[in-house]
Chains A and B, each alone.
Chain A
C-alpha cells in the first residue's frame, strides 16, 4: 500500500477556485488563468503515489508548484479538486475532506514536516523545540524527555539540548528541525527544501546524514528540491514539475537517460553527470576484453580511477556486457552537454 497518494490534485489560490479549473483542464498556463480569472494556479491534475519507505523528490524551477503540492499532504494548502490520501494506520484518509480532528491526528502522528527556514520557536531551548510535536500530541513528562534525548543524540546535538536555538548555526538549527520531525515517529516526512538555506558543505553533509538516518529509520519521505544533483542523490524516484503540473516521474536513471521534454532535458544537461552515471552508461557494447572486470552498476566516480589500469570489462550476473575505456567515458560525458 502506498503511504501517500495524490489523485488528480488541483490547488488554486484565490477566492473562486472553481472558475479556474476548466481553464486549467484546457491546458492553459498560470499566466493566462490569472489574467482571465484572477486565480493563481498552484498545482494541477497531479497524480503521484509514494510507497512506504521510499524517498520521492519533487523537483522543478522556482514557482513550479513543488511546495504547493507538498503542503497539500498535511492540509496546509487546500485542495480544489482531487484527493490527497494519507495512510493512517491502514486506512487511506483523504486529508482534503476529512474532519478537523482527523486532520489534527494525522498531523500529530502520521505526517511530520521540516521547513526550509527551520520554523523553530526562538524563545525555546533546543530540547523544547524537539519536543514540540510530542507536546502538542499530549505526550508529557518523562516519556517526552527520553524521546527528545534520543532524537538529539541521533542528530548529533546531545550536548546542545539546553541552549536557545538562536545560539546554533544554520546547519545545527536544521538538525533540530529534523529531530523535531523524527521525534513524533510519524511514518511520513515532508521536507520543503530543508537544506537550501545552508552553505554547500553543510548541505552535502546533512544530505549524507539524512541518508544514513533513513537507512535506519525507513520513513517515507517526500522531499522538495530545485537542485537535480540533490534530487538524484537523495531520491529513489523523482517527480519533475513545471508550471504546476508533473511532467515526468521516474527513477533518477530513467529521467537522466530519457528526459520527457526539453524542460527536463535542460535540467539534466545542467547537472553533474558524475553523480548519476554508472559503468553501464559509459560502456561500449560488445563482449569486451578489458584488463579488469567491473559491475554494471558501479558509479562512474569509482570506476574512473581504475581506468588507469586499462580498459575494463563490464559484467552483470557473470556475463560480459561491454567495455569501458577512457574514450567511451569521455564520449558519454560529451553526449550530455
Chain B
C-alpha cells in the first residue's frame, strides 16, 4: 500500500502544465475568442435592454403566440414577465437571457456542424464520445478555474463554462439525427444524382430536424441551469442575487431570485414546446 501512495501519478501537475502551456502559446487564440464572445454578448444585451421593457415583453409574447397559435402559452409567458417586472428583476433577467441566447448561438453554431461531421465520420465520433462524456460529467466548478485563468472574470468566462457544459447536447442530438436518416432516403437521393451537399441540405438536415430542435431546446434549458454557476465567475444575471443570498445567508433573497429562475425556466420550456 505504501508503495502505491508514494508513487502518486501526477494528474494535477500534468493538467497544470497543459494549461500553462496553453496560456503561454495559445494566448492570442483565447484573446480573439474573448473579443468575439464579448461582442456577441454586448449585441444581445443591447437588443434586450435598449427598448422599453414592455416592448420587449410584448415582442416575446408575440413570438410565442406565432409559434403556438393558441392563447394559453403566450398568456402564461406574458404573466411570467409581469411577475418578473413586479419583483424588480428585469435587468438580471435580461442579463441571464443574454447568457442563454449567446450560449444558444455558440452551442448550435458549433454543435450542429460538429454533429454532422461526426455523423459522416464514425471513426471520429468514437474518439469524440468520451470527450463529450467528460465535458458533461466533470463537475462544472472544475472548469471554472481554467475559464478564469484564460478569460478573467465576467460574462465571457460564464459563457465559456456554460458552452463547455451544454455543447455536448446539440452535438449528440445532431449526430443522432443525421446518422439515423433512413438509408432508403439517402439511396433515393443518390439514385436521382444528388451531390453530397444536396444530400445534406435536402435529405439529412430535414430528416434530422426534430432531433436538432430537441438539441436547441436542451441547449436553452441546460444554459439556464448554468446561470448560478456563471455568477460565481462574475457573470451578471439572476445568479448574482442567489450567490449574494448564499454569502449573506439571506433566505428571503435566495427564494426570491430562485423563484424568478424557475419562472424563466418554465416560460422558456413551455414556449419552446410547440407542435411542428
Contact = CB atoms under 8 A, between A and B. Distances in A.
B184 interface: yes
Contacts of B209: 123
B213 to A, nearest CB: 13
A184 B192 contact: yes
Top 7 closest pairs, chain A to chain B, by CB: A107-B193, A108-B193, A119-B188, A133-B192, A113-B191, A104-B193, A119-B184
Interface in B151-208: 184-185, 187-195, 198, 202-203, 206-207
Interface in A107-146: 107-109, 111-113, 115, 117, 119-121, 123-124, 132-133, 135-137
B157 to A, nearest CB: 40
A230 B192 CA distance: 26
Interface of B: 184-185, 187-195, 198, 202-203, 206-207, 209
A105 interface: yes
30 contacts: A104-B195, A107-B190, A107-B191, A107-B193, A108-B192, A108-B193, A109-B193, A111-B191, A113-B188, A113-B192, A115-B187, A115-B188, A115-B191, A117-B184, A119-B188, A119-B191, A120-B188, A121-B185, A121-B188, A121-B202, A121-B203, A121-B206, A123-B206, A124-B206, A132-B188, A132-B202, A135-B202, A136-B189, A136-B198, A184-B192
Contacts, number: 62
Which of B192, B194, B209: most chain A CB closer than 10 A?
A: B192
A151 interface: no
A173 interface: no
Interface in A154-179: none
B192 A105 contact: no
A72 B151 CA distance: 57
A74 interface: yes
Contact of A74 (B184, B191, B202, B203): B191
A331 interface: no
Contact of A115 (B184, B194, B198): B184
A76 interface: yes
Contacts of A104: 193, 195
A85 B119 CA distance: 34
B149 to A, nearest CB: 46
Given A117-B184, A136-B198, A76 B191 contact: yes
A119 B185 contact: yes
Contacts of A117: 184
Interface residues of A, number: 27
Given A121-B203, A121-B206, A123-B207, A137 B193 contact: yes
Contacts of B202: 121, 132, 135-136
A136 B206 contact: no
Which of A104, A105, A119: most chain B CB closer than 10 A?
A: A119
Contacts of A109: 193
B184 A112 contact: no
Contact of A136 (B184, B185, B187, B192): B192
A121 B184 CA distance: 10
Interface of A: 74, 76, 103-109, 111-113, 115, 117, 119-121, 123-124, 132-133, 135-137, 180, 184, 190
A71 to B, nearest CB: 9
A74 B193 CA distance: 9
Contacts of A180: 192
B239 to A, nearest CB: 40
Contacts of A135: 202
Contacts of A184: 192
Given A76-B190, A107-B192, A132-B188, 14 more contacts: A76-B191, A103-B193, A104-B193, A105-B193, A108-B192, A113-B191, A119-B185, A119-B187, A124-B206, A133-B192, A136-B192, A136-B193, A136-B194, A190-B191
A111 B193 CA distance: 9
A163 to B, nearest CB: 17
Contacts of A112: 191-192
A164 to B, nearest CB: 12
A113 B185 CA distance: 12
Nearest to A75: B190
A24 B185 CA distance: 33
A330 B269 CA distance: 76
Nearest to B186: A119
Contacts of B191: 74, 76, 107, 111-113, 115, 119, 190
Contacts of A76: 187, 190-191
Nearest to A105: B193
Nearest to A133: B192
A117 B192 CA distance: 16
Nearest to A190: B191
Given A121-B185, A123-B206, A132 B193 contact: no
A235 B191 CA distance: 23
A132 B198 CA distance: 11
Contacts of B193: 103-109, 133, 136-137
Nearest to A116: B184
B203 to A, nearest CB: 7
Contacts of A115: 184, 187-188, 191
B107 to A, nearest CB: 24
Contacts of A103: 193
Nearest to B190: A76
A213 B44 CA distance: 59
A127 B42 CA distance: 45
A76 B187 CA distance: 8
B174 to A, nearest CB: 17
